[in-house]
């Protein structure tokens, strides 16, 4: 069957069309994406502004129009942290559903972690054993761990790269004072995970989504001898180099898009602190993430 997976995230609104059936990997058909930084459309009360709601609605409508000729059998539509945490979330969802004729659902942070974990488990296989999955998004950080397809431990934290950039980092390049403030915040916020994940096998972690993929590509360009995985040694060298660059310098790096350039410093600092706190020497990069997890879960449900 042909599925449309509409992901209303903190940075982008992305409609991915895939051909899928139970027992086979989802095959990408086409991708329709609009860059929209939703947290820039929050007022002082934490509500998404009317302009923001209009941007969301227009972007979804445009993406759906672009994919209209593909004869999608079913569309799965979900929103993550930017809408989830808005004080007018219910009103935004109702408006979008009515205007766009869809059934947009808000995922909880734990659901994000669970579906992303499912995707990584299916990609890496049972031989991966007790697996830790890390996902640094624009608005939140998801962490899940377990030996099966349903993680024993799952958590969502407000440590997304876009959120942290807007909240902490100032200047261009970022000031040393603001970088230090973010570093201290991350150390304090992430330190409790050491206790929660104390029994985890330290050499079995995977990173999903764009931030980890971008960091791995930067690492491969800067330090080709370190291999394709993202290592803590590479991050310890990369982070200060990224911090010293202005936004144009970051965008000039081979692996960094215009969308990712503003927040890759914060993303790299989150990754580094996670690896320090959890004593991870390296992280495997998994190309499947939340959208693939949603598709796999839906296919499993249909079979039941």
Instruction: Say yes or no: 39 and 139 in one domain.
Output: no
CA 39, chain centre distance (Å): 15
Instruction: Say yes or no: 57 and 123 in one domain.
Output: no
Instruction: Say yes or no: 227 and 146 in one domain.
Output: yes
Question: What is the domain range of residue 252?
Answer: 110-286
- Tell me, yes or no, whether 294 lies in a domain: no
Instruction: Say yes or no: 24 and 171 in one domain.
Output: no
pLDDT at 26: 94
Instruction: Say yes or no: 195 and 216 in one domain.
Output: yes
Ordered alpha helix ranges (H), 255-303: 264-278, 290-303
Instruction: Say yes or no: 67 and 181 in one domain.
Output: no
- CA distance linking residue 37 with residue 56, whole number of Å: 10
- Tell me, yes or no, whether 301 lies in a domain: no
Identify the segments of the chain with pLDDT beneath 70. Answer: 227, 303-304
Instruction: Say yes or no: 275 and 139 in one domain.
Output: yes
Contacts of 65 (CB under 8 A, 6+ apart): none
CATH of the domain at 258: 3.30.420.150
**Angstrom distances, CA of residue 239 to CA of 23, 90, 131, 242, 259:** 40, 39, 26, 5, 19
Instruction: Say yes or no: 61 and 156 in one domain.
Output: no
How many distinct structural domains can be found in the chain? Answer: 2
- CA distance linking residue 137 with residue 210, whole number of Å: 8
pLDDT at 304: 54
Among residues 154, 180, 167, the alpha carbon closest in space to that of 240 is found at 180
Strand, helix or coil at 274?
Answer: helix
Instruction: Say yes or no: 272 and 133 in one domain.
Output: yes
């Amino acid at each position: 069957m042909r599925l449309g997976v509409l992901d209303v995230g903190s940075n982008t609104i992305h409609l991915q069309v895939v051909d899928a059936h139970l027992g086979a990997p989802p095959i990408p058909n086409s991708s329709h994406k609009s860059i929209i930084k939703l947290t820039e459309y929050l007022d002082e009360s934490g509500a998404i502004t009317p302009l923001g709601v209009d941007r969301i609605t227009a972007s979804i409508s445009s993406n759906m129009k672009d994919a209209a000729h593909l004869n999608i059998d079913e569309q799965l539509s979900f929103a993550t942290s930017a809408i989830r945490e808005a004080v007018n979330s219910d009103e935004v969802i109702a408006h979008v559903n009515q205007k766009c004729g869809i059934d947009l659902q808000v995922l909880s942070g734990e659901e994000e972690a669970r579906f992303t974990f499912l995707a990584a488990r299916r990609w890496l296989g049972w031989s991966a054993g007790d697996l830790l999955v890390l996902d640094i998004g624009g608005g939140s950080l998801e962490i899940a761990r377990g030996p099966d397809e349903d993680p024993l431990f799952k958590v969502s934290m407000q440590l997304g790269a876009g959120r942290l950039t807007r909240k902490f980092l100032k200047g261009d390049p970022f000031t040393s004072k603001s970088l230090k403030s973010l570093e201290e915040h991350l150390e304090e916020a992430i330190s409790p995970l050491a206790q929660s994940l104390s029994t985890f096998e330290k050499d079995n972690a995977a990173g999903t989504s764009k931030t980890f993929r971008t960091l791995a590509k930067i690492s491969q360009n800067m330090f080709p001898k370190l291999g394709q995985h993202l290592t803590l040694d590479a991050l310890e060298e990369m982070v200060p180099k990224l911090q010293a660059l202005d936004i144009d310098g970051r965008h000039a790096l081979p692996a960094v898009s215009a969308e990712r350039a503003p927040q890759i410093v914060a993303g790299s600092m989150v990754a580094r602190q996670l690896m320090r706190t959890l004593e991870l020497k390296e992280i495997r990069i998994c190309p499947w993430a939340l959208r693939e997890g949603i598709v796999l879960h839906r296919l499993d449900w249909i079979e039941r």
